[in-house]
Structure 1
């Protein structure tokens, strides 16, 4: 059924009377091709533009026929097209087909568009799997695999102050994160009065992005970071706020340390043994000490593993002498499982938070503003006041041991010097050592011992 005039009054009836599956040519178009219609199995009438390309004919769907649309209306309605609107759509497609002849016409252009759509969709899916949140997860896993205690702190900061606080940013591809967005995350914390947390978050964000940047030049970084396609580090372009850099150590004074000792000296059970071991070994880093394993315990020393320091270097073994005052507590631990500081038969260690909580409960209100971390700085301050050199204090507490000389040339284990320093500490706590001339030979002996080893 062809040759129908566009203005024929019988056209609407003929369209609606089409049998299902049948095509009708409504008219040939001056621009090329023809306007056709077909009755679908659903009963609706569908318009098509029929055209030829490279010796083959094709039909391009235009939309359904709207029998109640004004006959001269050129814009589609919510129900479909008038005949005039279908004709106009054919004209537009014909012009587009002519312009696209250089790439194969309308059909090839649509194929290109489909391929691009699929590629864009796949790219979007790939980007979604390499979001900021995923990058931070991979960084935490990388740190944990290296045995770094900081992995737990990093995860907590990321979960609370990135994923939860900025869910849209967490789902954004890591390669698209900008400096301004990082600053917004940090500013939020600063405005909440959490400047120290802001600086910590910045440091961890910077480290995570740097893994994705350095993966191209550092073989020890897992290849998974390469897929993030991060070219620059947006966190590295920000500045930390120096006002919040100083950690609130507030070392315990000598009198406060003695008060603390008297509070835990007779504390029974596991709590007392753990707290006394922490103090009598020189206030070691809490998170490292609580992970002490029986495999690293000797008759006169323990070895803990210092995970602080340069990334990629791995934990550094730090051996601490066990003085007589601490030996009884060490022998009092139940020797089962792997871990010494444990409430689960050595299956897993207690957390640093648990040890800090035990200390806070033991102290109560006896020491104003008490925190277990203040013990470490208090011990160093007390040793310094007793003329123990900075170098020996560093060997006791495993800090400040940097430089080529310390890493490569100085092979002395400093066990004698560390033992003397810890015995002096115990004497100061119990009152066995006083600030009198009688105490000076011990301090001078430690200094002399240091000189003889150089």
Structure 2
């Protein structure tokens, strides 16, 4: 047909099946209307016996006639409007324009199906892409699966300075986080008021001594590690197939420098005179406080978190070495499983720990390190024994101010002066092991060497207290 069809004509044809031509009504199964541009094809209408009219795009391709169904005349669209000829005319022209670059309409349809499938897949991926909060939580959960003792502290820092401080940022997709966002988080950590617990309610200037710079720098390292975890997560073949994806392309934290002035460890060691005053001050503490403080010193400065975690079941009777305390070291490096760290409790060491061990059978506490024989002591409570002594002895002018961190540096320094070499100190203090052999194959417990060094250390401490030259 050279002229355009009208909706009225098509509705009449749908009802009767006939078309009026030259005054005569003749039956017709199809009607067509040429599209405007040459080679564009035509809009073809086909009437079904039930009166429904289907709309097609008809084109001549590769020497043959092809057609593609577009829809039905008079159907109701998603927008609530009836699809008349004007709509199908525009639709036929659109599809014709898109299909002309393909050899066949079948090839065009294949391409359209691929585009739809790709779009659906992209939508599913977007729906599964995790937020910053999901990334940080997944990172900490992975730390917990690996038995990392620091997982709880890491989660606490991330919750305080990221999830609660920046809820909108936490809800944003992890892949959309930029270095500027990380910088804002770290700036907040440095400048915020201390957390409202204990006495810390004043806003203080960030410095090395109050730890705010160090906390911000550690937060930076936690977030860098979390994004590194996320970068590997999506490609991990052990990941569940329906697990959340992060779609990360880079680590935004890697662009930020370390925070200047942070992590300046207080590695000063107390002198012999100062260490002697500490030992004398410990003698004046209540019995269980004294015994715990002595345990921390006479056991050569073990990590307190590891020490106070020990339970009664960790006191072992060894046929060769006598009573042995088993500590579980969770602080191994990457690829290192938790390992037992055995300490012989013999001689002077057993003597200073005796108040903690005497009620081994009747104590209601889960382990020996308890101040009330009911509950285990927390690591920070044990460490506060020494920060308290540090304040009082410094006020008296007997020592510099010190904390348990200072004491650990002091103990290792004095052990080195006694001739305990670096390797033996590493065995004694369960320092990290490096190398395949040390990590995975060396299972010797070094109890004999540890007892020799603990005996040497105990004699040194006792001599400091009793030596009249210090009186």
Q: Normalising to structure 2: TM-score of the pair?
A: 0.63
Is the 8 Å Cα contact of residues 140 and 155 (structure 1) preserved in structure 2?
yes
Greater RCO, 1 or 2 (C-alpha within 8 Å, sep 6+): 2
**Residue equivalent to 1:252:** 270
Q: Say yes or no: does 1:178 pair with 2:178.
A: yes
Number of aligned positions between the proteins:
361
TM-fit CA distance, 1:100: 4.0
From 429, 438, 445, the equivalent of 1:397 is: 429
Q: Say yes or no: does 1:331 pair with 2:363.
A: no
What is the correspondence of 1:111-260 to structure 2 with a 5 Å cutoff? 126-127=128-129, 130-189=130-189, 193=206, 194-215=212-233, 227-241=245-259, 243-260=261-278
Is the 8 Å Cα contact of residues 179 and 253 (structure 2) preserved in structure 1?
yes
Is the 8 Å Cα contact of residues 73 and 85 (structure 2) preserved in structure 1?
no
Q: Say yes or no: does 1:425 pair with 2:457.
A: yes
Distance in 2, matches of 1:351 and 1:223, equals 41
Per-residue CA deviation, residues 390-427 of structure 1 (Å, 9 max, x unaligned), is 11111111115323454467665332332232223223
TM-fit CA distance, 1:291: 0.7
286 and 220 in structure 1: CA distance in 2 versus 1, 3 angstrom threshold = farther
Per-residue CA deviation, residues 145-183 of structure 1 (Å, 9 max, x unaligned), is 322121122112101221123222211112222333323
From 63, 66, 73, the equivalent of 1:56 is: 73
Per-residue CA deviation, residues 219-265 of structure 1 (Å, 9 max, x unaligned), is 67787876333343333444324642432343333333322222223
Distance in 1, matches of 2:415 and 2:139, equals 38
Is the 8 Å Cα contact of residues 148 and 308 (structure 1) preserved in structure 2?
yes
217 and 330 in structure 1: CA distance in 2 versus 1, 3 angstrom threshold = farther
Deviates further, 283-292 or 326-335:
326-335
Gaps of 5+ in 1: 4-30, 32-50, 64-85, 105-113, 437-454
333 and 283 in structure 1: CA distance in 2 versus 1, 3 angstrom threshold = farther
CA root-mean-square deviation: 4.4
From 310, 327, 342, the equivalent of 1:319 is: 342
**Residue equivalent to 2:103:** none
TM-fit CA distance, 1:379: 0.6
222 and 199 in structure 1: CA distance in 2 versus 1, 3 angstrom threshold = farther
Gaps of 5+ in 2: 1-7, 9-35, 37-53, 56-69, 100-115, 192-204, 207-211, 318-322, 395-399
Is the 8 Å Cα contact of residues 306 and 398 (structure 1) preserved in structure 2?
yes
TM-fit CA distance, 1:292: 0.8
TM-fit CA distance, 1:385: 1.8
Distance in 2, matches of 1:402 and 1:61, equals 66
Per-residue CA deviation, residues 319-374 of structure 1 (Å, 9 max, x unaligned), is 1222423321442354446433246867x743212222344345542144322222
242 and 419 in structure 1: CA distance in 2 versus 1, 3 angstrom threshold = farther
